[in-house]
Amino acid sequence: MSPAPDPAAMEERNPGAAIEIAGLRKSFGEKIVLNGVNLGVRPGESLVIIGGSGTGKSVLLKCILGLLQPDSGTIMIDGIDMTEAPGGDRADVRRRTGMLFQGGALFDSLNVWRNVTFALTQGRARKGRSMRSLAVELLAKVGLDESVADLRPAEISGGMQKRVALARAIASRPDLVFFDEPTTGLDPIRANTINDLIRGLVTDLGCSAITITHDMESARRIADRVAMLHEGRIIWQGPVEMLDDSGNARVDKFINGRTD
Ligand SMILES: Nc1ncnc2c1ncn2[C@@H]1O[C@H](COP(=O)(O)OP(=O)(O)OP(=O)(O)O)[C@@H](O)[C@H]1O
């Protein structure tokens, strides 16, 4: 069950972005990776995309983020087709998105608080004091104390680095957040802390979220809805409560960890 939303945070909830992907195709040479993906995310919904290694989850995410150009199909975010929109419109949508990359990807040379506010300052050292207080507020949201603010990423643990990356992903109060394998490299206890934090933040902020993972525990804790990508298509999607009752043999096999 989702954690109850924090009433104070509810007042500041975002409307959340709506995403509609239709007929998305992407090949590399002869290799067809996405073969007509249809997928939607409602405002404020948390969608988790599962699928085996190499099935194209990252390629799909990169297409949505505009880092890869699909061969055909449409990706509508709040009514703007990201595959065709002018650069300015796409940049506007991107400004409203947050991203947690696999591995965290913090800047080693910047201390924790500058990492958290990096996107807001574009790396420039302006409004130092107010930015630091904002960073401290964001660190508190992910359960980190002010004492880590002036440390370098190398001086804190892997789990703490993930939390810092999470604070950075929500710094611009995004309408839409992407999480790429958020629990990779964490032990089960730390992984569950991150999963619960993600679920709580998405609920409190009211943003829409897309997470890709092959960690089923993570999927179950984060998702409102789950979609499974297999051989270039979404072969099943439904509410997370239906996952064990999907009626789809491939989904059953995947969630039970069978490779036969
Ligand atoms: N830039 C590229 N050029 C050529 N092939 C690519 C490129 N990017 C991805 N691929 C291929 O697309 C396929 C899907 O890769 P992708 O990284 O999306 O898989 P994935 O589902 O995210 O896997 P994993 O769970 O292991 O991260 C792979 O066969 C990969 O080799």
- As given in the structure block, the two tokens for residue 73 are 């199909």
Report how far residue 3's alpha carbon sits from residue 201's, in angstroms, rounded to the nearest whole number.
Answer: 10
Nearest CA to ligand 1 atom 1: 28
- As given in the structure block, the two tokens for residue 68 are 């890869």
Nearest CA to ligand 1 atom 24: 53
Amino acid identity, position 111: N
Å from CA of 233 to ligand 1 middle: 14
Q: Which CATH class is domain 16-96+174-260?
A: alpha beta
Å from CA of 251 to ligand 1 middle: 20
- Which residues, judged by CB distance below 6 Å to any ligand atom, belong to the binding site of ligand 1? 28, 33, 51, 53-59, 214
Strand order in the sheet with 31-41: 31-41, 19-28, 72-77, 80-81
CA atoms 26, 32, 36, 38: torsion sign: negative
Q: Return the number of other C-beta atoms located less than 10 Å from residue 66's C-beta.
A: 18
Nearest CA to ligand 1 atom 17: 58
Burial class of residue 154, CB neighbours in 10 A (0-12, 13-18, 19+): exposed
CB-based contact 140:112 (threshold 8 Å): no
Q: Is the pLDDT of residue 20 over 90?
A: yes
| Cβ neighbours for 28, distance < 8 A, ≥ 6 positions apart | none
Amino acid identity, position 44: G
Nearest CA to ligand 1 atom 29: 54
**How does pLDDT run across 115-159, given as a tens digit for each residue?**
999 877 765 555 556 889 999 999 998 889 999 999 999 999 888
Q: Domain ranges in the chain?
A: 16-96+174-260, 111-173
Å from CA of 12 to ligand 1 middle: 37
Q: Return the number of other C-beta atoms located less than 10 Å from residue 127's C-beta.
A: 12
Closest C-alpha to 85, from 69, 109, 103: 69
Q: Is the pLDDT of residue 52 over 70?
A: yes
Model confidence band, residue 7 (pLDDT cutoffs 50, 70, 90): very low
Å from CA of 53 to ligand 1 middle: 8
Q: Which of 26, 31, 50, 58 to mutate to test the pocket of ligand 1 (most atoms within 8 A of CB)?
A: 58
**How does pLDDT run across 65-117, given as a tens digit for each residue?**
888 999 999 999 988 888 887 777 777 777 788 888 776 678 889 999 999 99
**How does pLDDT run across 197-235, given as a tens digit for each residue?**
889 888 888 889 999 998 899 999 999 999 999 999 999
What atom in ligand 1 is closest to the CA of residue 102? 27
The helix or strand, by DSSP H or E, that contains position 128, with its residue range, turns out to be helix 128-141
Reported as half-sphere exposure (CB side, CA atoms, 13 A), residue 234 has a value of 18
Report how far residue 150's alpha carbon sits from residue 50's, in angstroms, rounded to the nearest whole number.
Answer: 37
